[in-house]
Amino acid sequence: MGRRKVAAPPTRGSSMAGGGVISEIREKHKLELENLTLTKHPFRTSHFFMLAMLQYLKRLATYILSRGALFVLLVVLVLAPGILLVVTDGLHKKHVQEFLNYARFVLWWVSLGVASSIGLGSGLHTFVLYLGPHIALFTIKAVQCGRVDLKTAPYDTIQLKQGPSWLDKKCSDFGPPLYQASAHSVRIPVFELLPQVQLEAVLWGIGTALGELPPYFISRAARLSGSEPEAVKELDATTTNEHGPLASTLNRTKRWLLSHSQHLNFITILILASVPNPLFDLAGIMCGQFGIPFWEFFFATLIGKAIIKTHIQGSLI
């Protein structure tokens, strides 16, 4: 009987060659992902997007079917009373409309806050476009009329496709001035004006805090997967193409933040969130990359942006 030939174990050279092939495949895959954009490959990107959406819808349908009875019961218990209250007439109609007005008001200002901070600095400047002018207009009107009780309700503010009711009213419609004029001007204390615009400012600040979460989650997901976010790679490298004093200052600040990442904690995040800071997206990326707990990051950001920063900005206006 002939002896069966035993396959020789893989040599070190062959394993290294296999590792090189795997690394080459990974680099090729990474390059393909970087080039997979709507501008470069619109049809292929749209195709993969549709496949991903179908996969998520399939997962959602599977989850709903697996817990069908509980899901249907939850929908009925939550939506049915609300729909019934909206479509039926009665004494409750006024309260339902009031609730819808508040819900629209909250959604509007929170959405503006999210739009302001989301997108790694490329968001809309909704403070300059909406909240700032709203506070300025209210202050001017209050000074003209000598009183601060101009709103008919807390939601009587600038909203989508509608303005506040007090903007076009005459001062005589509000009654006599409560603050007497001195030297041809009315001086209203800031602590009297601020509560009148405080709610919308805080809601806008909550939205800005929510808009800072995507960089944190993306960076944390990259850390858990063993990779490094592109933003951190870019900041970690030495910047050579610094054009102008502003770019040079920003790059030095970025490098300083990276070199002092060990000092990231609740107080540091709170301070960074409490002032107008174009580099706070970097702080969110670093918090995710260096494992700062979510609730520590979120609460510090929420307090800094929704309470401290909005009151500072509102007082300055």
Domain contains 9: no
If asked whether residues 223 and 306 sit together in one domain, one would say yes
pLDDT of residue 264: 75
Same domain, 146 and 221: no
Report how far apart, in Å, the C-alpha atoms of 77 and of each of 66, 80, 88, 103 are.
19, 6, 17, 20
Q: Which of 83-87, 170-174, 280-284 has the lowest mean pLDDT?
A: 83-87
186 & 220 share domain? no
Q: State the pLDDT at residue 244.
A: 56
Domain match, 230 and 286 both: yes
116, part of any domain: no
Q: End of a domain among 173, 200, 227?
A: 200
Sign of CA dihedral 190, 196, 202, 204: negative
131 and 194: one domain? yes
Q: What mean pLDDT comes out for the span 18-40?
A: 71
Which of these three, 154, 169, 200, is where a domain ends? Answer: 200
Q: Give 63 or 197, the one with higher predicted confidence.
A: 197
Q: How far apart are CA 31 and CA 127, in angstroms?
A: 38
- Is 47 inside a domain boundary? no
Average pLDDT on 61-69 reads 72
Choice between 243 and 190, residue whose per-residue pLDDT is larger: 190
Q: In whole angstroms, what is the distance from residue 61 CA to residue 52 CA? A: 14
pLDDT of residue 239: 46
CA pair distance 41, 92, nearest whole angstrom: 54
- What is the CA angle 162-163-167, rounded to 5? 160
Say which residue, 178 or 251, is predicted with more confidence.
178
In a domain, 142, yes or no: yes
Q: Clarify whether residues 194 and 218 are in a common domain.
A: no
Confidence of residue 24 (pLDDT cuts 50, 70, 90): confident
Residue 59 located in a structural domain? no
Q: Is the pLDDT of residue 245 over 90?
A: no
Predicted local distance difference test score (pLDDT) of residue 206:
93
Q: What is the 3-state secondary structure (H, E, C) of 1-42?
A: CCCCCCCCCCCHHHHHHHHHHHHHHHHHHHHHHHHCCCCCCH
pLDDT at 109: 93
Q: Indicate whether 216 and 194 sit together in one domain.
A: no
| Whether residues 216 and 262 fall in one domain | yes
Q: What is the C-alpha separation between 242 and 13, in angstroms, rounded?
A: 44
Alpha helices in 67-212, H assignment, sequence order:
68-87, 93-117, 126, 132-145, 190-211
Average pLDDT rounded to a whole number, residues 294-300 = 91
Does 135 map to a domain?
yes
Only one residue has tokens 């009711």, namely 165
In a domain, 154, yes or no: yes
Q: In terms of C-beta density within 10 A (0-12 exposed, 13-18 middle, 19 or more buried), how is residue 117 classed?
A: buried
Report pLDDT for 28: 77
Residue 312 lies in a domain: yes
Among 102-111, 173-182, 219-228, 307-316, which is the least confidently predicted range? 219-228
Q: Pick from 161, 179, 200: which residue ends a domain?
A: 200
Q: Which range marks the domain in which residue 249 is found?
A: 212-316
Residues 220 and 188 in one domain: no
Domain count, the chain: 2
pLDDT at 232 over 70: no
pLDDT tens, residue by residue, 120-156: 555 568 888 888 899 999 988 888 888 888 898 888 8
More confident residue, 1 or 82: 82
Where is pLDDT greater, at 301 or 177?
301
Q: Are residues 264 and 243 in the same domain?
A: yes
Are 232 and 185 members of one domain? no
Name the nearest CA neighbour of 109 among 166, 160, 168.
Answer: 160
Given this model, what pLDDT does residue 11 score?
Answer: 56
